[in-house]
């Protein structure tokens, strides 16, 4: 009798464990379903196994309502990380700008792969003209990957040739904008689009990420920055401080402040994963356990 009870207890534990484990997978899947794209569903198997890592680092977004504070901080840091290592003498440290975030989000919402017209990028956040980088992704790109992709164009730019141009037939403008010395203001937006204008079928259900830069980089006959002793060419009146080899107006790195604009501010939890899923999960586990117990007790006694 005692042995039977212990046996039943073990079975119950095992069953519960099984369901807990599998509901974890379900949760990961529902995150992906909330994202919409069918393509992402195919990635489920890959993601299901790595959900622990996914939670540990907030480097992916599960919504398309714009970047939250955490993601904006990552985007900014990824820009500054690359600006820091250019060995530049006149590099300004970047800071987040909520006006540029709004304009970038507005344009991301338009689901267009082409650049916004110059006339729409004037007088934003006090800048005469702002620059623009766009990244399309038909997969679940991480926020740092967005910047990494732009930066990877460094291979098509030869600073040592004292040129303002990219290598023949290559694109390097995204890279140059990321490291443009006086583009110190950054704001980015993202949208999950059913279709992306001028992008064809390859980009159904894709992310459109847009960053705006103030002032605009990629001036026609100028180098992105000047090499030399870090901060040696800072304008000491405007940027008297040198932080991480970059000219800064303040003695500390400015914190990112994302407010409003439906960006799911602050909270890291995806809005689309279903409000009642945890409760539902527990109920399912309880019901299943009860049913198992009943069946087993009938069989055993
Ligand atoms: C900066 O200088 C270091 C040391 O000379 C060099 O290894 C590195 O490639 C340089 N970085 C860039 C982006 O040119
Ligand atoms: C780079 O090019 C500019 C303009 O063409 C020139 O004035 C400058 O002296 C050049 N610098 C170097 C290091 O060759
Ligand atoms: C963020 O900005 C809002 C509005 O501009 C302000 O009220 C708030 O104090 C700021 N928060 C931080 C942490 O700077």
Q: Give the C-alpha separation, 152 to 82, whole Å.
A: 11
Q: Answer whether 121's CB lies under 8 Å from 215's CB.
A: no
CA 238, CA 97: separation in Å to the nearest integer? 18
Of 70, 259, 263, which is best to mutate to test ligand 3, by the most ligand atoms within 8 angstroms of its C-beta? 259
Establish whether residue 85 lines the binding site of ligand 1, counting it when its CB lies within 6 angstroms of any ligand atom.
yes
Distances (CA, A) of 245 to 80, 95, 185, 230: 10, 15, 17, 5
Give the HSE-up count for residue 16: Cα atoms under 13 Å, Cβ half-sphere.
13
Question: Ligand 2 centroid to 160 CA: how many Å?
Answer: 11
Is the Cα dihedral 54, 208, 271, 264 positive or negative? positive
Shortest-distance ligand to the CA of residue 155? 1
pLDDT per residue as tens digits for the range 156-204: 999 999 999 999 999 999 999 999 999 999 999 999 999 999 998 999 9
Around ligand 3, the residues with Cβ closer than 6 Å are 255, 257, 259
Task: Give the pLDDT of residue 217.
Answer: 97
Spatial distance between the Cα atoms of 79 and 174, rounded to a whole number of angstroms: 12
CA R_g for the chain: 25
Global model pTM greater than 0.75: no
**Pocket flag, ligand 1, residue 86 (CB < 6 Å):** yes
Residue 187 CA to residue 68 CA, distance in Å, equals 12
* CA 202 – CA 195 distance, rounded (Å): 9
Q: Which two tokens stand for residue 206?
A: 């894709």
Strand, coil or helix: what is 191?
strand
b/e for 49-87, b at 16 or more Cβ within 10 A? eeeeebeeeeebbbbbbbbbbbbbbbbbbbbbebbbebe
- How far apart are the CA of 233 and the centre of ligand 1, in A? 18
* DSSP 3-state percent helix, strand, coil across the chain (nearest 5): 45, 15, 40
Ligand 2 mean position to 245 CA, how many Å? 24
**Average pLDDT for the chain:** 77
Place of tokens 């729409």: 120
- Residue among 257, 258, 261 to mutate when testing ligand 3 (max atoms within 8 A of CB): 257
Looking at residues 101-123, what average pLDDT do you find? 96
Q: pLDDT-derived band of residue 64, with 50, 70 and 90 as boundaries?
A: low
The pLDDT value given to residue 93:
98
Beta strands in 36-121 (DSSP E): 95-96
Under 8 Å between Cβ of 83 and 194: no
Ligand 1, from 81, 85, 88: best to mutate by most atoms within 8 Å of Cβ?
85
Confidence band of 253 (pLDDT split at 50, 70, 90): confident
**Ligand lying nearest the CA atom of residue 162:** 2
Residue of the nearest CA to atom 2 in ligand 1? Answer: 87
């Amino acid at each position: 009798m005692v042995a039977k009870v212990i046996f039943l207890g073990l079975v119950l534990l095992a069953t519960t464990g099984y369901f807990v484990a599998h509901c974890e997978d379900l949760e990961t899947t529902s995150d992906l379903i909330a994202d919409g794209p069918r393509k992402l569903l195919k990635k489920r198997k890959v993601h299901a196994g790595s959900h622990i890592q996914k939670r540990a680092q907030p480097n992916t977004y599960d919504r398309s309502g714009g970047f939250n504070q955490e993601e904006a901080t990552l985007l900014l840091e990824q820009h500054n990380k690359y600006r820091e290592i250019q060995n530049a003498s006149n590099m300004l440290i970047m800071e987040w700008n909520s006006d540029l975030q709004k304009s970038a989000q507005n344009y991301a919402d338009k689901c267009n792969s082409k650049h916004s017209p110059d006339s729409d990028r004037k007088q934003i956040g006090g800048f005469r003209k702002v620059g623009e980088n766009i990244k399309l992704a038909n997969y679940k790109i991480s926020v740092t990957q967005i910047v990494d992709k732009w930066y990877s164009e460094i291979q098509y730019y030869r600073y040592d040739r004292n040129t303002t141009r990219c290598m023949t037939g290559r694109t390097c403008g995204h890279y140059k904008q990321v490291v443009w010395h006086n583009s110190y203001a950054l704001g980015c937006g993202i949208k999950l689009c059913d279709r992306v204008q001028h992008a064809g079928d390859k980009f159904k259900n894709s992310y459109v990420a847009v960053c705006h830069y103030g002032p605009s980089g990629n001036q026609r006959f100028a180098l992105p920055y000047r090499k030399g002793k870090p901060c040696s060419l800072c304008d000491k009146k405007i940027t008297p401080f040198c932080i991480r080899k970059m000219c800064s107006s303040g003695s500390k790195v400015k914190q990112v402040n994302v407010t409003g604009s439906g960006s799911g501010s602050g909270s890291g939890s995806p809005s689309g994963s279903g409000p009642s899923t945890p409760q539902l999960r527990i109920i399912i586990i309880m019901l299943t356990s009860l049913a198992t117990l009943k069946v087993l007790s009938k069989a055993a006694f």
